[in-house]
Each structure stands twice: as structure tokens, then as C-alpha cells.
Amino acid sequence: MVSRGAEVPVDLQKLAESLGVTEILLTELVEDGRTTWIDGRPKIELRADRPAARMRFTLAHEIAHVLVAQDQTVARRTQGLDHDALEMLCDWIAASLLMPRDWMQRFANRNSYNLSLLRLIANHADVSLSAAAVRLAEVGGRTCMLLRFQRAPERWVVVGHAGVPREYIGALEATAETSLLLDGLASRRDVWQDLTLRSRGSILLANAHLDKSGQTCIALITSLIEDATL
């Protein structure tokens, strides 16, 4: 495992080697990554056409599978986990490998989170903004979610999300007001706005740091509350 004071960005190749991974291959895969065991030794394959930061996270995730399988105690204790739970565990281990807690803590302790902070973490740790947001939310114990909006013919739609509380996953939409607001926003970096989002029957109030670029906009949301006035 990565020790205290681990160097960031973490050298995943070296870590994989130290765990006995025989090779890391970039191949054509349907899934993002896969670990196969040949004569008891792991080989990792990564889907070659994914963005670099994504591939790096997938490599860390596959290394997590190796760690879980190699440690007999962990392997025994995770035996009963269903597929999704094991995948979640490996995502969590991957984030911990790439952004070790003692390294993250100084960022997580900041009074407020914004897009500059997220870019700083992503650049240092060589991860995506989404991965940085999820880890920041976890280590900081605060709301920190990233939504990616895209302008569709009718309105702005949510096309990507990270760090979203479980109850809202797949359910968040821009309201008509938010769509208008995003239309009116100049393409420039980083502006704070209060937004409304819809989740099934509820309206949510969000404080968001926005970066619009043409037909797409990313939003770092640092507070999300249900509108009780409705």
C-alpha cells in the first residue's frame, strides 16, 4: 500500500510492479479495464481509447482488485460482496491510492471549495476533475459534486455527474430557470451562481461555481438543499 507521505502523483506502474502485476496492456475492450490471473499472477488490460485521466483511474481500480485478491484477510472478508459493492470498494481504494488522505487533508481543510482548488488537485494528482471532486467530498465530509451540462436543442441537460448523493444519482435535471441562466452566462471562467435543479418531484437549491465553455458548462456544487417553500 502507499505509505504515509506518498509522492503525488503516485507512480502506478511501480506500484503495480511491486504487487507482481506481470504486464499492463492497452487493448480493445468493451469495459474500461480488466484483471486476469495467469498462473497466479495478475495481468491488467486497459481500454486504449479512453481519456488519459480515466485510464489512470481505471489502472488504480484494477490495482485495487489485485490488492483485495492478494491479501487473504481482505479477500476472505470481501468474498460475500456482490459485484457492485466490490466495484465501489475498488473505486474507493483507487481514489485513496491516487489521492492519499494525508495529502488531501490540506485541501479538504480549506474554508471553501471552488473550481480552482479542484483543478489544482486534479493537476497535482493527475486525475480527472470528477475524481478530485468525489475524493474532496469524502475527505472533507462536505458537499462537493460536479455536474456537467450540455446545451441540447431544447434546453441544458445534465450529461455527467460525480460526487452526487445516492438519492439524486441519475435524477438531477436543470430547471427552466437554470437553463435560461446558463444561456445568459458569458463563456468565461468561474462564476458563482445560485441554481435550481429538479430531482423527480423536488426542487433543489444549489450554490454552484460555474465554468461555461460554449455549449458545455461544468458546475461545482458546494451546497444542495431541498426547497422547503414548495
Where do contacts with Zn ion occur on this chain (CB under 5 A)? Answer: 87, 90
Please state the closest distance from residue 197 (CB atom) to Zn ion, in A.
30
Please state the closest distance from residue 62 (CB atom) to Zn ion, in A.
7
As to burial, measured by CB atoms within 10 angstroms (0-12 exposed, 13-18 middle, 19+ buried), residue 201 is: exposed
Which residue from 69, 10, 79 is spatially nearest to 43, judged by alpha carbons? 69
Rg (alpha carbons) of the chain, rounded to whole number: 19
Residue placing its CB nearer to Zn ion in the complex, 66 or 172? 66
Residue placing its CB nearer to Zn ion in the complex, 45 or 211? 45
Please state the closest distance from residue 61 (CB atom) to Zn ion, in A.
5
Which residue from 168, 210, 163 is spatially nearest to 189, judged by alpha carbons? 210
For the CA atoms of 185, 190, 196, 202, what is the dihedral angle to 10 degrees?
140
Residue placing its CB nearer to Zn ion in the complex, 53 or 217? 53
Please state the closest distance from residue 207 (CB atom) to Zn ion, in A.
34
Residue placing its CB nearer to Zn ion in the complex, 87 or 126? 87
Residue placing its CB nearer to Zn ion in the complex, 90 or 174? 90
Please state the closest distance from residue 39 (CB atom) to Zn ion, in A.
21
List phi, psi (to 5°) of 13. -60, -45
Is residue 118 within 8 Å of 128, Cβ to Cβ? Answer: no
Please give the Cα distance from 213 to 198 (Å, whole number).
23
